[in-house]
Amino acid sequence: MERLKWTVLLALGLITTSMAVYSFHYVIFGDLGFITKVGFASLAFVPIQGLVVTLIIAELIVIMSRGARMQKMNMVIGVFFSELGTELLQALYISDPQAMTLREAFESAGDLNSREVVSLMKRIEDYPFRVNIDRAALGDLRQMLTARRDFMVRLLENPSLLENENFTNLLWAIFHLTEELDARTDLSQVPDSDFEHLKGDISRSYGHLFREWLMYMRHLHDNYPFLYSFAMRTSPIEPEKQVEVV
């Protein structure tokens, strides 16, 4: 209501100012014909002005707003990797029997800028992301995930993530895996068929997680080099981490 009132007052103020200027011109020069011609000429430009405002300025505002939303979204994604994603990716990567193949593809990319990440995503498009995990390790994985269940629920409630379908799919995959693991009383005694089912859920989460980690690294590389440097020094697929800068 207040916004509508302010808009009406602004419109009335602008119309009054325009009428006052035209009236002042008529009092000084007394040329009504000139005022009429100028008024119609100005009126002819109104559609063009509307085009400029609607299609160009409005689009610029949308782009700027989208950029601000992307920044907020990437901040939330950064929190995810700090609290859970990096640790989970490391645990799954260690269990990957073809980890060296993935690592070689990763190392061939060099810096994870936009062009290199796109190329790397294509190279790993058919990578299976399988895990070789035993039943005993399922308990550790369940403990890791259930301890962060509330954290993941809060992330799913965050409206900033609604525009990122891929990251939302990652959260759903991890949340589903958490529920599957937590629903079983004794993970060490699950039958083979159920064990394979759980490994399938883990592989799904692993694939989503690695791809989203690459996209987040690209964001850090392009926008926050100091954060990217630390992320590479603490990389979850780096066997010999060197946190100190040498």
Mean pLDDT score across all residues of the chain:
85
Q: Which domain covers residue 201, as residue numbers?
A: 74-233
**Which pLDDT band, with edges at 50, 70 and 90, does 246 fall under?**
low
pLDDT for residue 68 is more than 80: no
Q: Is residue 240 part of a domain?
A: no
| Domain identity same for 91 and 13 | no
| Single-letter code of the amino acid located at 65 | S
Looking up tokens 């954290």, which residue turns up? 151
| Domain identity same for 84 and 39 | no
Q: Is residue 80 part of a domain?
A: yes
Beta carbons within 8 Å of 35's beta carbon, 6+ residues apart: 22, 25, 26
Q: Is residue 34 part of a domain?
A: yes
| Domain identity same for 15 and 88 | no
What's the CA gap between 210 and 99, in Å, rounded? Answer: 12
| Domain identity same for 116 and 222 | yes
Among 29-33, 131-135, 149-153, 220-224, where is mean pLDDT lowest?
29-33
| Domain identity same for 178 and 107 | yes
Question: In the structure encoding, which two tokens stand for residue 120, read together?
Answer: 């790397």
**Which pLDDT band, with edges at 50, 70 and 90, does 28 fall under?**
confident
Q: Is residue 122 part of a domain?
A: yes
| Domain identity same for 228 and 121 | yes
Higher pLDDT, 77 or 3: 77
Q: Is residue 245 part of a domain?
A: no
Q: Is residue 242 part of a domain?
A: no
What's the CA gap between 155 and 151, in Å, rounded? Answer: 6
Number of structural domains in the chain? 2
With CA atoms as reference, report the closest residue to 214 among 112, 141, 122.
112
| Domain identity same for 210 and 113 | yes
With CA atoms as reference, report the closest residue to 35 among 17, 24, 44, 22.
22
| Domain identity same for 123 and 183 | yes
| Domain identity same for 211 and 145 | yes
For residue range 119-164, list pLDDT tens digits in order: 999 999 899 999 999 888 999 999 999 999 999 888 888 887 777 8
| Domain identity same for 34 and 90 | no
pLDDT at 175: 93
| Domain identity same for 138 and 229 | yes
Q: Is residue 185 part of a domain?
A: yes
Q: 3-state DSSP call for residue 148?
A: coil
Q: Is residue 154 part of a domain?
A: yes
| Domain identity same for 130 and 27 | no
